[in-house]
Structure formats: structure tokens, C-alpha cells
Structure 1
Amino acid sequence: MSEKVLVKIRVNDVEVVDEVEPRLTLLDFLRDHGYTEVHRGCDEGKCGACTVLLNGKSVKSCLVLAVQADGGSVTTVRGLSRNGELHPIQRAFLEEYAMQCGYCTHGFIMVTYDFLTNVSKEADQELLSESIKNICRCTGYSSIISAVKRASEYLRGGDSK
């Protein structure tokens, strides 16, 4: 057993401090601390169900070690809402019925947030291509694409439909 390392990670604006094994993934760290909205999918970085924001950028938490996030800030899908109000991207996914079982939805929302916040507020083909790198095993992607487009409109100050 390897020596444990002290890590401090701000998760959804709450500092979480723990001693962890250096090989512990950020996914397991988050789930161990009650952030069960971060879903385990493939453990290979292919499905995107575990996507969170690390210092404002989307990462697949199954591919990041907790020690790599030390001193950083993590936002889960739960951390996007403020004062009991859904984030516009969450609202768009709800309004467009962009989920079936909901397992993958968190990852899609986080990838969409990263792109619309850090790259472009336009739901262009580049964003749709980025989003579709995540995998939904229950449904087609048409509702997800509609949700991304609606979220883009909301973030640009519009109110579609």
C-alpha cells in the first residue's frame, strides 16, 4: 500500500480535504465524498458520464487523479444551479427532454457548459461534434442537440420557444 497524500479540492464551493492514495481517481474521490451525481460509466474516458469541470474546463474524472486536482476547483452538475434555480443549460436539457434514463445527462451538460462558456456561445457544428463525443446508450441524440441549441440561445440572452 502506498503512502497517502493530503489533497484539498474545492467542490461546488465547499473545500474537501482528505488523505488519499496517489492512484485514487477524481471520480472515486468525488463519489467517496457524496457527489454521487458524478456517474461511473466506462472507466476509460470514452463515455463521458463522469464529466466534471476542473478549474472551469470539462474533464473526464475517471482519467484524472485526485492528486492532480489538489488545490483546484471542481464543479459537478449539482454545482451549476444557484439559489435553487437551474442553470440555463440544465433548464434547456429539461425543457427539451434531453434524457431518457438520465445517466449520461450530467456529462452532456458539463461538456455543453465548458464549450458555451469557454469557446463560443454559438451552438455550432463544432459544439455539437464535441458533445456527441459523450455516449448516450438509451436514446437518439436529437433531443440533446435541441437542448444544446436552446442553451446557447439562453446564454446569448434569448428565450427560444
Structure 2
Amino acid sequence: MSSIRQFQVTFDCAEPERVARFWCEVLGYVVPPPPKGFSTWDAYERSQTPEDRGSWFACGDPSGVGPRLLFLRVPGGKVVKNRVHLDVRVGTGLVGAERLAALEAECTRLVALGAVRVRLLVADGVNESCIVMQDVEGNEFCLD
């Protein structure tokens, strides 16, 4: 049996391109080239039926190491807490005040991009501190 080497993370959302571009800024990801046969994403969108326009958007790690992120338009809004969320690892290896400073600096950057700070979870002797946040459509993620 072979092991899986690649995967993508899929987000349900109302505005796929908006959410994808937010995550591009957060993670340093890029929008891939338009589908084969199209010179631009706008040209691709114009080729779609009106109901399919803007129904999805994707972005990926420019180094090819991280997973592709796919954003799909769904009819209903977010109602409950995510069952899966991303941890944005900005404090790896840091502890105490140094870790909190790194988390707070990144939190400030992401709030300027449209994220919302939810709460600080303070180190408890087992887990280090992290900041719970929401993306531009309310999906939870952690600065860890």
C-alpha cells in the first residue's frame, strides 16, 4: 500500500476568491496560472455559466511543499465552529514573552488583512500560548 504524499484543504465559503486571496497573504501562497486554454482568470470566468462564475478559487504554496487550498462557494453561511482548522505556526520554538510577542505581531498583521482576533489562550504548563482568530468569513484558525 502506498502512502499519500499530497493533499489539499478545502474551505466552504460564500466568496471563494476573497477568502483565497486572504489566505494567500497569510501564508505567502500564490494563485496558480489560469486553466489551460485561458490567458487570464477573468477569461476563464467569462467562459463559465453565470451560476458557475466565482464558484471556486484555489491557491498554493509557491515552493510546492505545502498543501493546495481550495475554496468552494456554498449556499449557506457558517453556523457552528469548524470541525477542522488551520494552525498558522508563527511561534514554533519560542516560549514565554518572546512567543507572545511573535503571536501579537502576526495577529496585528492579520487583523489589518481582515482577520478577527477571538481570544488569547495563555500557556498552561502543557500547551504554549496561542491566539484563536477568524478569517474574513469567520472560519476559526489559530496563531500557534
The alignment's TM-score, normalised by the length of structure 1, stands at 0.32
The alignment's TM-score, normalised by the length of structure 2, stands at 0.34
Larger Rg over CA atoms = 2
- More strand by percentage: 2
